[in-house]
Structure 1
Amino acid sequence: MQHAEMMESLRSLLESADHVDVKTVTSSVDMKSFVAGLINWRPAWARVLFRIRNIFAKWCGLEYDFQPSPKLTAETVPTTPGDPVDFFELHAYSPERLYVMFASDKHLDAYLAVVPEPGSEGLVNYSVYTIVMYNNRLGPIYFNVIRPFHHLIVQAMVQAAAKGVEEVPCAAC
């Protein structure tokens, strides 16, 4: 898929979404290091929130037994659509232009998209989009319960990833 087609695909996801939020940060790291940092970020407080989420997910009849993947590096970040990226699947990739991950369950589909843009003095302005589409009545109920925690976690992930993959704490590593 060409970059223009991927951006059109992202635009289509945004237009059909039930929820979209964007977190932005400026960094000196390349896109694959940034993505590795997003995935590797797992401080203790976030792991506790994920355990609580798993209890709620089990109660809702959703998938809940997630095991984190091994630590990623810029060299091991998946680049082939369909490959697993932690609990996501790679949906689209264009080097230094777009990285879209996808997760699906019976209640909602979620995309996490990383879009870098050149900044000043060699820096990169990253926009990280969360795109959610509800699949049934449970989708908005579930997402509205976790939404405040989602914002905290994704903002912290983005800030940590901007520092570079080597500085990101990873409990599963």
Structure 2
Amino acid sequence: MTLGPMHREIERFTKSAHHLDAVSAYASLSLRECISNALSWQPTWLKLLFLARGGLARLMRLEHPSSRPSRSLRPEEISFHPGDRLAFFTVSAGKEDAFLVLTAEDTHLVGHLIVEVDPTDTGTEHRFRIITAVHYRRWTGLLYYNIIRPFHHIVMHRMIAAASRPVEPVR
């Protein structure tokens, strides 16, 4: 799959991935706002999917990370420092106003959630892209991912829609 131009610093996370996909949207937001919207998005049906994922993980004897954050993340809480935690992800790389690479590791696979931003000709609107790069560590990774793949695509499309919504002012 060709994703088009991306920041060179993230190529090491996408290179040789067994599965690679991307969704994108345009918005007049900062990268921090986009990421906080994406990680704070938690509809009930997504919470139920995480519960089902937990059952599948236990059945396959896989680790099961805790679910998404129980509260919304504010843009200023988004870290770009490798090693810091955001939800159940670890920050692997980041560059303010350019990209953030979040990683979730398990015995069966390594998944990278990459959020990047590119300016557009309008000057105020940016193109945001959320990339998923999955590296299987063993056959159970391939099996697991193929089971969740249909849901993954739905979640990613809904996540980018939520991520690109205007930020509600804090009262």
**Under a length normalisation based on structure 2, what TM-score does the superposition of the two structures give?**
0.89
Ranges in structure 2 where 5+ consecutive residues have no aligned partner: 1-5
Write the letter of the residue equivalent to 2:26: T
| In 2: Cα distance, 1:65 partner to 1:114 partner | 21
Could you tell me how far 1:62 is from its partner in structure 2? Answer: 1.1
- Determine the C-alpha separation between the residues in 2 that align with 1:166 and 1:154: 21
Q: Which runs of 4+ in 1 moved over 6 A?
A: none
Measured in 1, the distance between the counterparts of 2:63 and 2:139 equals 17
Contact 1:112/1:129 (<8 A) preserved: yes
Corresponding residue for residue 28 of structure 1: 28
What root-mean-square deviation, in Å, do the aligned CA atoms of Structure 1 and Structure 2 show? 1.7
- Indicate the SS of the match to 1:99: strand
Q: TM-score, normalised by structure 1?
A: 0.88
SS at match of 2:100: strand
2:101 alignment partner in structure 1: 100
Name the one with the larger helix percent. 1
The residue number in structure 2 matching 1:163 is 165
Equivalences for residues 58-73 of structure 1 within 5 A: 58-64=58-64, 66-69=66-69, 70-73=71-74
Structure number with the bigger relative contact order (C-alpha 8 A, sep ≥ 6) is 1
For this pair of structures, how many residues does the alignment match? 162
Tell me how far apart the structure 2 counterparts of residues 91 and 25 of structure 1 sit (CA, whole Å).
23
Calculate percent identity across the aligned residue pairs: 30
Deviation track 1:66-112 (CA, whole Å, cap 9, x = no partner) reads 14334211111122111001010001110111111001000000001
Where structure 1 has 5 or more consecutive residues not aligned to the other structure, the ranges are 1-5, 168-173
- Residue in structure 1 matched with residue 136 of structure 2 by the alignment: 134
